[in-house]
């Protein structure tokens, strides 16, 4: 009898270990798939410029005093940018707008002569604002996140985004941005459900032709 | 002189008749089951690791096209060589497509030929599925299943939009 019990115990432990490893592997694979998908999707969305809203900005060209390229008042088309984002995400990770829409916050950022304007959207809620310089954007977006989401739930994922942590690579510059924050998205493993939070943003790569 | 050996109490080291069989049977059943679980664990780990590498290769290729606007023949051959380290991939197992974004929606149905230069804003799709069935699938199905839906292949897909400008 001892042999049988020992054998069954070893088998149960092995099954438990195996199932847990498989569960986490499935979760992390899906999480990576979504993270890569978001990366490709924000790069697709940032190219959807609204020509009618951007015509003044596009006509300005260069700063006559410094010779630097001007990118003020170049704005994205909200509808087509979001279409591009969600269609690319669906193609990459199989997630549709309905799957992640309620967990998604989208921020549009565009420079103006006076500073940086932004529009933050979550569902039908719109939160518009203005900051004097790009380094203040992180705080403005985090404030909007704390307004638009219930931040009292200690079980939910982190509420903050960190963009300015590394000035040489991550810091916002003076250019149009498309930023997406997907929070507490539930991913099913083999038997356990876990949540994950994703942040992705892309800056417009603008250049002036001679 | 010395200890007198008792004959009434049986020695704990000598098995009774029939005890051999009662211990051998559990071993015959349990040890193969444990071995099978371990094999499954090893093959699942192998499948998961290879699948992640293959997805990495699909994404790296998409990044190359996104940044440079082209997948050169050399780069395509390198991709095939790398993929064949993990599973069997022939030309017909790698599908490349190109297309456009219309109102933000992807329309990518044309085949992409390596070496073709894409324009900024074009869509590029890479999809790959291994020719052979994974070992994990073989263990699960005790071989290659006649129902192909039950077979587990290595698959990866990446879709990107070209950022390169001439």
For residue B47, tell me if it sits in a domain.
Answer: yes
Q: What pLDDT shows up at residue B17?
A: 53
Residues of chain A positioned with their CB less than 8 A from the CB of B55: 32-33, 36
For residue B45, tell me if it sits in a domain.
Answer: yes
For residue B6, tell me if it sits in a domain.
Answer: no
- Per residue of chain B (166 residues), what is the pLDDT tens digit? 444 444 455 555 555 555 565 667 767 877 888 888 888 889 999 999 999 999 999 999 999 999 999 999 999 999 999 999 999 999 999 999 999 999 999 998 899 999 999 999 999 999 999 999 999 999 888 888 888 899 999 999 999 999 988 7
Say if the Cβ atoms of B163 and A205 lie within 8 Å: yes
For residue B12, tell me if it sits in a domain.
Answer: no
Q: What pLDDT shows up at residue B39?
A: 87
For residue B10, tell me if it sits in a domain.
Answer: no
Q: CA-CA distance, A97 to A181, in Å (whole number)? A: 14
Q: What pLDDT shows up at residue A57?
A: 79
For residue B122, tell me if it sits in a domain.
Answer: yes
Which H helix or E strand runs over A32?
helix A2-45
Residues of chain A positioned with their CB less than 8 A from the CB of B41: 14, 17-18, 21
* A29 at interface of B, judged by CB pairs closer than 8 A: yes
For residue A77, tell me if it sits in a domain.
Answer: yes
Instruction: Return phi, psi of residue A180, to 5°.
Output: -125, 135
The ipTM (two decimal places) reads: 0.85
What would the pLDDT profile of A125-176 be if each residue is shown by its tens digit? Answer: 898 999 998 888 888 988 888 888 776 766 666 677 887 776 666 678 888 9
pTM (2 d.p.): 0.86
Q: What pLDDT shows up at residue A37?
A: 95
For residue A192, tell me if it sits in a domain.
Answer: yes
Could you give the count of Cα atoms lying within 13 Å of A113 in the half-sphere of its Cβ?
5
Where helices occur in A61-154 by DSSP H, the ranges are: 78-93, 97-100, 137-148
For residue A113, tell me if it sits in a domain.
Answer: yes
For residue B50, tell me if it sits in a domain.
Answer: yes
Residue A34: count other Cβ atoms within 10 Å of its Cβ: 24
The total domain count for chain A is: 1
The total domain count for chain B is: 1
- The residue range of the domain holding B36 is 19-161
Exposed / middle / buried, residue A32 (Cβ in 10 Å: 0-12, 13-18, 19+): middle
Where helices occur in A49-136 by DSSP H, the ranges are: 51-60, 78-93, 97-100
For residue B11, tell me if it sits in a domain.
Answer: no
Say if the Cβ atoms of B121 and A47 lie within 8 Å: yes
Q: What share of chain B is helix, strand, coil (3-state, %, to 5)?
A: 45, 20, 35
Say if the Cβ atoms of B163 and A92 lie within 8 Å: no
Q: Token pair of A83, please?
A: 């279409």
Q: CA-CA distance, A80 to B26, in Å (whole number)? A: 65
- The residue range of the domain holding A62 is 2-203
**Does A197 score more than 70 pLDDT?**
yes
For residue A210, tell me if it sits in a domain.
Answer: no
For residue A208, tell me if it sits in a domain.
Answer: no
Nearest CB to B103; choose among A15, A83, A88: A83
Say if the Cβ atoms of B101 and A84 lie within 8 Å: yes
- Residue of B34, B159, B165 best to disrupt the A interface, most CBs of A under 10 A: B159
């Amino acid at each position: 009898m001892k042999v049988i019990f020992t054998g069954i115990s070893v088998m149960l432990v092995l099954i438990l270990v195996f199932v847990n490893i498989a569960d986490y592997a499935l979760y992390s694979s899906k999480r990576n798939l979504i993270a890569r998908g978001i990366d490709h999707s924000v790069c697709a969305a940032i190219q959807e410029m609204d020509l009618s809203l951007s015509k003044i900005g596009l006509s300005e060209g260069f700063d006559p005093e410094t010779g630097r390229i001007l990118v003020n008042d170049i704005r994205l088309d909200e509808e087509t940018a979001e279409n591009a984002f969600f269609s690319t995400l669906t193609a990459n990770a199989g997630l549709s707008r309905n799957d992640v829409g309620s967990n998604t916050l989208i921020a549009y950022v565009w420079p103006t002569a006076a500073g940086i304007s932004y529009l933050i959207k979550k569902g039908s809620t719109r939160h518009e604002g203005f900051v004097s310089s790009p380094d203040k954007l992180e705080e403005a977006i985090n404030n909007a996140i704390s307004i638009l989401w219930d931040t009292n739930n200690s079980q939910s994922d982190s509420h903050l985004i960190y963009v300015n942590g590394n000035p040489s690579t991550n810091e916002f510059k003076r250019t149009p941005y498309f930023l997406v924050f997907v929070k507490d998205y539930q991913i099913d493993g083999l038997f356990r459900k876990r949540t994950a939070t994703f942040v992705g943003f892309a800056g417009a790569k603008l250049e002036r032709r001679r | 002189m010395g200890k007198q050996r008792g004959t009434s109490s049986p020695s704990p080291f000598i098995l009774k008749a029939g005890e051999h069989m009662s211990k051998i049977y559990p071993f015959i059943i349990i040890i193969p089951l444990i071995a099978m679980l371990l094999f499954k664990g090893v093959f699942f780990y192998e499948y998961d690791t290879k699948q992640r590498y293959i997805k990495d290769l699909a994404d790296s290729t998409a990044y190359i096209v996104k940044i440079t606007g082209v997948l050169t023949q050399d780069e395509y051959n390198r991709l095939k060589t790398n993929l064949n380290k993990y599973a069997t991939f022939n030309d017909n197992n790698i599908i490349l497509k190109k297309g456009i974004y219309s109102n933000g929606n992807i329309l990518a149905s044309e085949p992409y030929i390596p070496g073709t230069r894409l324009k900024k804003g074009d869509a590029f799709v890479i999809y790959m599925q291994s020719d052979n069935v994974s070992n994990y699938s073989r263990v699960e199905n005790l071989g290659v299943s006649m129902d192909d839906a039950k077979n587990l292949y290595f698959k990866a897909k990446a879709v990107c939009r070209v950022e390169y400008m001439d």
